[in-house]
Chain A
């Protein structure tokens, strides 16, 4: 006879622990779909949105990069420039300069950089004429630099000379007298312009008829204007003395000719050409230097114009109503 109670009963299966339950739950495919897909969506969504909302903060450089002697507000001063500046200021090789001198030069360069940055901050290119002029000149110089490499040939210079022949002259002198009848001044209060013109016309007639200059001057009240000297004057000097109105009249006269009356602000003038040596075209060989300089200047001018044409084609330029250029 056996006692059932003494028979060893098999141990009941242990209840899985919490971790095991959670693990089983996570591994359950249904649970995975329930939680992991939405969780993945949330995490990926946050990451993608974060990429759009934030960007890495810019790290200012705290170490001077190689090749630079200093950084000023993240703007570098090249070691090469520092060496060049030191040598230029001291006149000796860099290795022969003292530390004190190098420090002084670097300090000057840093000061200059600070001033340049300050100028940009103050927008000086916008407000200061000198700065604007210097910047424009620098751009023109840079544009013209490649053209200097092209050496003009003889033919090109001659062609240029032929095209501008009138500009290259030799000689040209005149000896003349500039007679003026004043009007309307205190001394000539009774002389009006129409009267002066009429008198001047009569005087011209008499001069052309052979009357002496002194007689005409005394009879009609002309005086020497004082603009030209008594002797021979070169054309360019006469141009300066006579002015823009009288000079063309003078150049049209040959020796012995009398001009018509010319009214100017200070009176009615009559020019008497005594002697005239017309300007001669200068031979190419004599003005070659000037031709070369003018040729180069024209090259630079054309380069500058071409540069501006390109800049304009890329720019949006709007003019206010009523404005034109």
Chain B
């Protein structure tokens, strides 16, 4: 069992993980988000609550056994409240058989409700309470807009912040930058796709620690360009396709790590782009223009990228400063795409330009901090582990991948040799078996996400 066997096993592992990874297919696009607009006039507060259908469906079950518009409205009525100057402001019957909760038509795949709270006196200070969905979805975020007079301010309701106090209605405070930074951090830490990308990026550069800085610089550049594009308001992103393309980037990075390990690297460096192009043709035949363009672009990008980092004559793939810079390209793209996450989330809420920019800066900063932190922790852990293994005498073993397959069963049984097998490095590329397996798994995951998210 030589390199071919290793390849077969790797592919099998990747495929198995891909099939098993379905429950992990949670990404930012499915995170809990709702939108509330609180319009304050003399003694009333009108709440317009917009809830994506996907979010509403999460309530079906213990909270609302059979989800209907009226039950959803009743749920919102129970979980929102307004207090002015210490006194409760009850929701009023809006008359004309509308009831206290009025469903409104706000768009496809969106539920909209209007509730009017009437206070007993002209409003000077307010406490807005929104407890909807946090018990079911702890990561749920409600983006709020508060309109008082002609002033608009943005706010956030989260599981840890279900009440917003406004001491002076004529000067309603906006959510702090820190709130959005925390949101950005949570966005990265809670999203499997982002974590997988960071893992595979680390894999690619872990043997050259300085390149981690290159990756981080690429991320910063990507987020900066996205912020500029969003601020300019020139383009609107397609969230589902962005998530699919992130899967493609994960697979691309993983292949960049795996390819040198294969007996015939061309299978990966050319096979993957050809696979994407073939899928693009299928998508075009199905008249899915967006996915077809995405797949075709991904195929061309992958072909160019994988060819560039494996220039003939290089001592090792990825060697050289230019190749190092090139390795940061997927990170730049990732940063650019992830930078549009907030834009797509905020689309139903019409906010002022300054608010949107401030929110995006905080959000992207939080994401960057989380990513840098993960890199730092992971790099430190790898350095520690490498030092430990070197100290334990697990040295090189040439051609282990080729001569013995992965490992003999007898080797697996001896306790010390398992770790030895995992820590074995090949001569040519200095990658451990653990790294190769991880990259293979992530390649499978990335491919899986790419295909499934295109389908949605």
Contact = CB atoms under 8 A, between A and B. Distances in A.
A35 to B, nearest CB: 7
Interface string B208-244: 0000000000000000000000000111111001100
B337 interface: yes
B329 A42 contact: yes
Contact of A53 (B241, B302, B312): B241
B289 interface: yes
Contact of A41 (B97, B236, B245, B304): B304
Interface in A119-162: 120-123, 127
B235 to A, nearest CB: 4
B356 to A, nearest CB: 12
Contacts of B291: 52
A48 interface: yes
B300 A54 contact: no
B311 interface: yes
Contacts of B97: 127
B299 interface: yes
Contacts of A40: 304
Contact of B294 (A52, A122, A123): A52
Interface stretch (B73-81, B101-109, B153-161): B101-109
A121 B105 contact: yes
Contacts of B106: 121
Nearest to B233: A57
Contacts, number: 100
B174 interface: no
A57 B231 CA distance: 12
Contact of B236 (A50, A56, A127): A56
B308 interface: yes
A42 B252 CA distance: 13
A54 B301 contact: no
B420 interface: no
B292 A52 contact: yes
A46 B225 CA distance: 14
Interface residues of B, number: 39
B305 interface: yes
Nearest to B290: A52
Contacts of B297: 44-52
Given A42-B304, A46-B333, A55-B236, A121 B296 contact: no
Most chain A CB atoms below 10 A, which of B97, B98, B238, B300: B300
B235 A57 contact: yes
B312 A34 contact: yes
A43 B97 CA distance: 59
Interface in A222-275: none
Interface in A55-75: 55-58
Contacts of B311: 34-35
B104 A45 contact: no
Contacts of B104: 121-123
B298 interface: yes
B110 to A, nearest CB: 12
Chain A interface mostly: helix
Contacts of A48: 293, 296-297, 300
Contacts of B345: none
B304 A45 contact: yes
Nearest to B238: A53
Most chain B CB atoms below 10 A, which of A34, A45, A127: A45
Nearest to A126: B105
A45 B306 CA distance: 13
B303 interface: yes
A38 interface: yes
Nearest to A47: B297
Contacts of B237: 53-54
A115 interface: no
Contacts of A121: 104-106
Interface in B358-375: none
B279 interface: no
Most chain B CB atoms below 10 A, which of A38, A40, A51, A52: A52
A310 to B, nearest CB: 26
Contacts of B303: 38, 41, 45
B307 interface: yes
A55 B307 contact: no
B304 A120 contact: no
A120 B162 CA distance: 32
Contacts of A45: 296-304
Interface of B: 97-98, 102-106, 233-238, 241-242, 245, 289-294, 296-305, 307-308, 311-312, 329, 333, 337
21 contacts: A35-B311, A40-B304, A41-B300, A44-B297, A45-B297, A45-B302, A48-B300, A51-B297, A52-B289, A52-B292, A52-B294, A53-B238, A53-B241, A53-B242, A54-B238, A55-B235, A56-B236, A57-B234, A57-B235, A121-B106, A122-B105
Given A46-B301, A49-B293, 14 more contacts: A38-B305, A41-B303, A41-B305, A41-B307, A42-B304, A45-B301, A45-B303, A45-B304, A52-B238, A55-B235, A55-B236, A56-B234, A121-B105, A122-B104
Sorted from nearest, which 6 A-B pairs have the closest CB atoms?
A: A49-B297, A41-B304, A52-B293, A45-B300, A45-B301, A48-B297
